[in-house]
């Protein structure tokens, strides 16, 4: 993939100055609410964007919606805030960090949060079968080791996409893999000087197809890389436009 447009936008953004602390905090909060809604909706959470905002901003309980779905919103918010702290310090991605992110995501499941799965799993309709549970610790260590090499060889966005595809293929946890994986994806994008992306519920079938493409085409990351790059371009253009209006 040609990253020329993406890199040009990154360089343009660097020349536009910065948002002040209050503006950046508000922008990150709005992104967090949207990201929480979309990431949870992809996994079957039925809260609307408005309901998600009410829970996270006002602490309101939505009648007739399960407590589990409320906790999923709160857990994702806490995990998002955690990755933003990690990104500020450019913390290296480790198994401990991954488990800590998962622990926040799976706030409603004390027995399984932050713990690799102990049973085999199958992803219905997927092109791959996750490894047996006894292989998960080994494969996670290998993934993190390989990722260091990948980052040295590929564009950071493509490297983050490849990590995400591999992570979801291992499916290390009994639940919460998708939400955890997308948070890690954003952590790695931010650490690389990019903006976080919001994979939308409306695009979930395109997103699912990226995994089938990866496993049916000799681990080609092209489709997911293009999907993420499209989101990244949109975020960069929006941020540049915002800063230009600020100066006008």
* Domain-embedded: residue 158: yes
With beta carbons less than 8 A apart as the criterion, state whether 229 and 2 touch.
Answer: no
The residues carrying an active-site annotation are 171
* Domain-embedded: residue 115: yes
Give the CATH number, domain containing residue 144: 1.10.3290.10
Count the domains in the chain.
1
With beta carbons less than 8 A apart as the criterion, state whether 75 and 106 touch.
Answer: yes
Cα–Cα distance, 65 to 41 (Å, whole number): 14
Cα–Cα distance, 159 to 153 (Å, whole number): 8
- Using left for φ > 0, alpha for ψ between -120 and 50, and beta otherwise, residue 20 falls in beta
* Domain-embedded: residue 84: yes
pTM for the complete prediction? 0.96
* Domain-embedded: residue 3: no
* Domain-embedded: residue 1: no
* Domain-embedded: residue 144: yes
The CA dihedral of 36, 41, 42, 45, to the nearest 10 degrees, is 110
Which residue, 163, 118, 123, is CA-closest to 136? 118
Q: Domain containing 104: what range? A: 8-247
* Domain-embedded: residue 215: yes
* Domain-embedded: residue 2: no
Per-residue tens of pLDDT for the chain, all 248 residues: 789 999 999 999 999 888 888 999 999 999 999 999 999 999 999 999 999 999 999 999 999 999 999 999 999 999 999 999 999 988 999 999 999 999 999 999 999 999 999 999 988 777 789 999 999 999 999 999 999 999 999 999 999 999 999 999 999 999 999 999 999 999 999 999 999 999 999 999 999 999 999 999 999 999 999 999 999 999 999 999 999 988 76
């Amino acid at each position: 993939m040609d990253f020329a447009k993406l890199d040009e936008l990154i360089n343009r953004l660097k020349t536009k100055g910065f948002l002040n602390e209050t503006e950046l905090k508000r922008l990150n909060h709005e992104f967090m609410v949207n990201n929480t809604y979309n990431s949870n909706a992809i996994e079957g959470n039925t809260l609307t964007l408005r309901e998600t905002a009410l829970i996270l901003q006002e602490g309101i309980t939505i009648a007739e919606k399960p407590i589990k779905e409320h906790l999923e919103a709160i857990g994702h918010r806490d995990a998002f805030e955690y990755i933003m702290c990690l990104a500020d310090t450019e913390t290296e991605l480790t198994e401990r960090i991954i488990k800590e992110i998962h622990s926040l995501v799976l706030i409603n499941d004390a027995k399984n949060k932050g713990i690799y799965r102990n049973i085999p799993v199958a992803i219905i309709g997927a092109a791959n079968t996750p490894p047996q549970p006894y292989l998960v610790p080994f494969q996670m260590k290998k993934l993190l080791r390989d990722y260091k090499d990948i980052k040295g060889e590929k564009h950071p966005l493509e490297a983050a996409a490849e990590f995400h595809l591999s992570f979801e293929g291992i499916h290390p946890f009994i639940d919460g893999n998708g939400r955890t994986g997308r948070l890690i994806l954003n952590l790695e994008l931010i650490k690389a000087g990019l903006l976080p992306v919001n994979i939308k519920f409306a695009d979930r079938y395109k997103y699912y197809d990226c995994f089938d493409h990866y496993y049916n085409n000799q681990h080609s990351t092209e489709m997911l890389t293009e999907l993420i790059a499209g989101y990244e371009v949109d975020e960069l253009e929006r941020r540049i436009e915002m800063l230009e209006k600020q100066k006008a």
